[in-house]
Amino acid sequence: MSASEIELKSYCVQTAADAKSASHELVCLRGEQIDLWLRESADQLIECTPKIIAANEKDVARKDEFGLTDAQIDRLMLDSSRIESIAHGLRQIASLPSPVGEIFESTVRPNGLQINKVRVPLGVVFFIYESRPNVTADAAAICIKSRNAVILRGGKEAFHSSHAIIEILQSVGQSHGIPRHALQLVTHPNRQAVDYFLALNESIDLAIPRGGESLIRRVAEKASMPVIKHFNGNCHVYVDKDADSEKAIAIAVNSKCHRLGVCNAAESILIHESIADDFLPLLGKQLSENDIEIRGDEAVCQIINTATLATDEDFEKEYLDAIVSIAIVEDLNAAIMHINRFGSGHTDAIVSENASTIQQFSNQVDTAAVMINASTRFNDGGEFGLGAEIGISTDKFHARGPCGLKELTTYKYICVGNGQVRE
């Protein structure tokens, strides 16, 4: 191992150890301290908007160097409105009750022993993410609010933006008793740092990757600690034969076009064959006006002559771009089978006025979130009332769907007796 590698590994080990020590201090903080930190941090973010935008401009100026797509540039860019949104997210988190210390199950045994199941922090979170500087603030806020120390490893594309945000949060934190090492941003640019951190399961309790599929798979393969993840967001909108056409158009277009480069954007639309001749041209017109390329099955291509013939690969792809796959399905069962075959278990929507159809879809589609007569874009921690999210999980153990405060806790049993001994 070279001297530089030894130095890097030492840096990672020390950073993780410092976070572990800070996590023990965090448990002792009063909720009021953390909430005040969040609110004052939000105020400071607004006050420092010019500084943050200047830092962000340095990142955006390097977009060609990093080969960023239009969707990636959109995720990277900050303006006063987006900074206001970040601040609003911090205030929302501050207003939420802390889950830590909640007794969510309690029983009394025949011998009088009271068995309490109590929420406690996980400890230390290693959060790896790409070019979304707003996520820096969200992740820091959710982790500290749930009394977890956090090590943030943001993408190099957003380094200046993330650094400016973290400096503000750390500065405010010092005046409110937030331990210095409870919130750390990895400043070392070497990608090998991620691998070193992922081996430190004695100090780090959870890894959360948020970004492209290649990043998430790499983390899942190398992590020695549990990982909350989703590999991609191939989200669907199914338009049923009993759908309200006006609702369906609005929902499908919003799901796809509202913001292309996000994981809860729709990538595939399914249409019941009995309404396809009337509905599809209307939908195609709206998608065309939004410059969306359509890749469809043979039946779709017969109705929309500008569509290109889709392959299985097209139907399973997360585009994050101005492309959508469309299929005409025979019935509800065919729609469910299509989604369970090609979907990623992230977000799937149904548009229908038939209650039994909606129930069957909700029961049988294997997904983290079912949206009924609503856009897939609502699968979001903020929209779900979580304040913000640290990610959306398609796993089935511990956490599924948007991960907020409760998803960053585990539990311990606290048993209260009065001198009982076991015979």
pLDDT tens, 351-402?
999 999 999 999 999 999 999 999 999 999 889 988 778 888 988 888 999 9
Residue 74 confidence (pLDDT): 86
Say if 134 falls within a structural domain. yes
Q: What is the CATH number of the domain that holds 50?
A: 3.40.605.10
- Domain of 374, in residue numbers: 235-378
Nearest to 100 by CA among 35, 151, 41, 37: 35
Is the Cβ–Cβ distance between 295 and 324 less than 8 Å?
Answer: yes
Give CA–CA dist 277/282, Å, rounded: 9
Give CA–CA dist 189/211, Å, rounded: 17
Q: Please count the structural domains in the chain.
A: 2
Q: For residues 162 and 249, state if they share a domain.
A: no
Burial code (b: 16+ CB inside 10 Å, e: under 16) for 83-108 equals beebbbbbbbbbebebbbeeeeeeee
Q: For residues 240 and 332, state if they share a domain.
A: yes
Say if 407 falls within a structural domain. yes
| The two structure tokens encoding residue 249 | 């158009």
Beta bridge partners of 401: 393
Residue 78 confidence (pLDDT): 95
Q: For residues 131 and 151, state if they share a domain.
A: yes
| The two structure tokens encoding residue 302 | 């017969």
Nearest to 339 by CA among 285, 268, 258: 268
Q: What is the CATH number of the domain that holds 288?
A: 3.40.309.10
Residue 318 confidence (pLDDT): 94
Residue 99 confidence (pLDDT): 94
Residue 382 confidence (pLDDT): 81
Q: For residues 50 and 24, state if they share a domain.
A: yes
Residue 321 confidence (pLDDT): 92
Q: Which amino acid is at 398?
A: H
Residue 255 confidence (pLDDT): 98
Residue 188 confidence (pLDDT): 86
Which residues, given as ranges, of the chain have pLDDT below 50? none
Residue 360, class by beta-carbon neighbours within 10 Å (0-12 exposed, 13-18 middle, 19+ buried)?
Answer: middle
Q: What is the pTM of this model?
A: 0.87
Residue 79 confidence (pLDDT): 95
Say if 267 falls within a structural domain. yes
Q: For residues 295 and 409, state if they share a domain.
A: no
Q: For residues 242 and 142, state if they share a domain.
A: no
Q: For residues 44 and 143, state if they share a domain.
A: yes
Give CA–CA dist 385/392, Å, rounded: 14
Say if 389 falls within a structural domain. no
